[in-house]
């Protein structure tokens, strides 16, 4: 049995009832309704914030190194090239760590059990 049910945001959500349990066909929409945000957008926001801090830190390190070693004849280009290599190295490891974090969060924190339904989604028979 398929039922279209309105969510609290006013959009339509497709649901089906199987063996007395309402199943949601659009998990992203249900996650948004349940948490108030999509788990993927949360993980992306954390990733972007941390990566911005990482990039800012390397930029500050680059400025410091230029000011320290420019008087010794080390050019800005060499320092910039080194900082880009460092950022690239960090990004590979950071991406790997964030992938692990995302898998953990999606499996253990943001997982909505399949039998869980919100009270506004219960099919009422009148």
The band of 40, judged by pLDDT with boundaries at 50, 70 and 90, is very high
So what's the pLDDT on residue 113?
78
CA distances from 49 to 32, 53, 107, 115 (A): 21, 6, 22, 34
pLDDT surpasses 70 at 2:
no
**Predicted TM-score (pTM) of this structure:** 0.67
Q: What percent of the chain has pLDDT over 90?
A: 56
Written as six digits, the tokens of 67 are: 């000011």
Smallest CA-to-CA distance from 15 within 112, 123, 119 is with 123
How does pLDDT run across 48-101, given as a tens digit for each residue? 999 999 999 999 999 999 999 988 999 999 999 999 999 999 999 999 999 999
């Amino acid at each position: 049995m398929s039922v279209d049910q309105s969510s609290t945001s006013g959009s339509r959500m497709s649901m089906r009832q199987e063996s007395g349990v309402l199943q949601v066909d659009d998990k992203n929409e249900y996650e948004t309704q349940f948490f108030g945000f999509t788990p993927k957008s949360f993980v992306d926001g954390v990733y972007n914030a941390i990566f911005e801090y990482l990039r800012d830190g390397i930029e500050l390190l680059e400025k410091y190194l230029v000011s320290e070693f420019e008087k010794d004849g080390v050019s800005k280009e060499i320092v910039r090239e080194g900082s880009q290599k460092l950022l690239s190295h960090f990004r590979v490891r950071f991406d790997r760590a964030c992938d692990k974090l995302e898998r953990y969060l999606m499996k253990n924190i943001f997982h909505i059990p399949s039998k869980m339904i919100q009270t506004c989604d219960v099919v009422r028979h009148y």
